[in-house]
Amino acid sequence: MSRTLRVGVIGGGIGGVALAGALAQQGIEVRLFERANAFGEVGAGIQMTPNAVKVLQRLGLGDALRDVAFIPQAIVGRNWDTARENFRTPLSGVCEELYGAPFYHVHRADLHHILTTLLPAGSARLSTACVGVRQQRDGAVAAFEDGSEFEADLIVGADGVRSIVREQLFGAQEPRFTGNMCFRAVVPFEAMPEFVSPDSSFWLGPHAHVVTYYVRQGAAVNIVAVAETQQWVEESWNAKSSREELLACFEGWHPNLVRLFERADSVFKWGLFDRDPMQTWSRGNITLLGDAAHPMLPFLSQGAAMAIEDGYVLAQSLAAHGIDIASALRDYEAERLPRTSRVQLESRERGRTYHLPSAFAQHKRDLIYKFKSYLNPQASGIQANWVYAYNANDFVPRVDCPVTLAAAN
């Protein structure tokens, strides 16, 4: 008698919901467990780069995503003081041709809501905090704070940078504070202001940088402002800051940024912590996904994109291998570990490049940007063309003789 593959997903953020939706589309039984009492995301923007958009389109979410997105004209590097352009990487109308999908700016809450439309009715259990996982014969078990348990063929930890599942599998690992703190704010506007360009603007300065871009079809501007600090800052997106603290930290920066910061009513801050790439994400019938597997600095704007790619690839691998969980996880890691490790390491390197301390070092960097832009605008600036070109839809599991659940029973 045949049965359906059963998967438990711990964590209802962007990666966990993307995985659950992709599994459901493959006919795999999925249950998602989220500790919060309601689905929701922080009030912040997110850059949905072409590599992630290709997956969302394959999942059938392309139209819904486009309806809430803003399409930037370019990624533009600017001098922190003069606003001089150091590089310009065209995006609008170019990404579709080069990478097979557009580049979008969206609000995280809008993206999360769109992903939840993929969830089967009754598949998500809220207010359910995971306290542990364990391997058992032919499967795994997740235990929850309320005393309940869930048995599955596979348990996936998509529970973020402070992952309980990762700690259970590999032990406690304290992250390294990078010496950087990040402010975030979303500023609404009735009309697009003349002092914010319709681009993804990277303002690069000494020991700091700022990224600004529109979300919600131009109805708001997202601010991400990163500054070096000697003080430890909490690794939480919800730590309150203030307009005054933001302005003081970026005193003397270009007037256009100051005008934008002055309109920020709600400001948050968090510390940026770093972890080295892992050698494996899996133990038995338990694995990791997204920030639980590969937390990364935000300097390539790829945290959510990598989690979405992970979810799609893992769902495809499970669908192909059936009950052969070991082979499914083998192919999942073989596809995803090299890519996410490179993104982690190159994101770390961008942080050093963006924050050069001296005017001479900045000038030298900017000359290199200009030269590379002359040769190939897509390979200058943040140099993420190799990231965008990847297509998770091309993933093909290595299945010689698939083991089906029907055959295994």
Buried b (16+ CB within 10 A) or exposed e, 38-52: ebebbbbbbbbbbbb
Beta bridge partners of 220: 188, 215
Round to whole Å and give the CA distance between 224 and 227.
10
Q: What is the DSSP track for 61-98?
A: -HHHHHHH-B--SEEEEEETTT--EEEEEE-TTTHHHH
CA angle 230, 235, 241 (to 5 degrees): 75
Q: What is the DSSP track for 197-211?
A: -SSEEEEEETTEEEE
**Catalytic (active-site) positions:** 213
Task: Give, as one character, the DSSP assignment of residue 322.
Answer: B
Beta strands 45-48 and 286-288 are unpaired
Round to whole Å and give the CA distance between 192 and 215.
11
3-state SS assignment for residue 319:
helix
- Give the contacts of 194 (CB within 8 A, at least 6 positions apart): none
Beta strands 154-157 and 6-10 are parallel
Which of 184, 303, 308 has the alpha carbon at shortest distance from 243? 184
Report CA 261 to chain centroid distance, whole Å. Answer: 25
Round to whole Å and give the CA distance between 19 and 59.
11
Report CA 249 to chain centroid distance, whole Å. Answer: 26
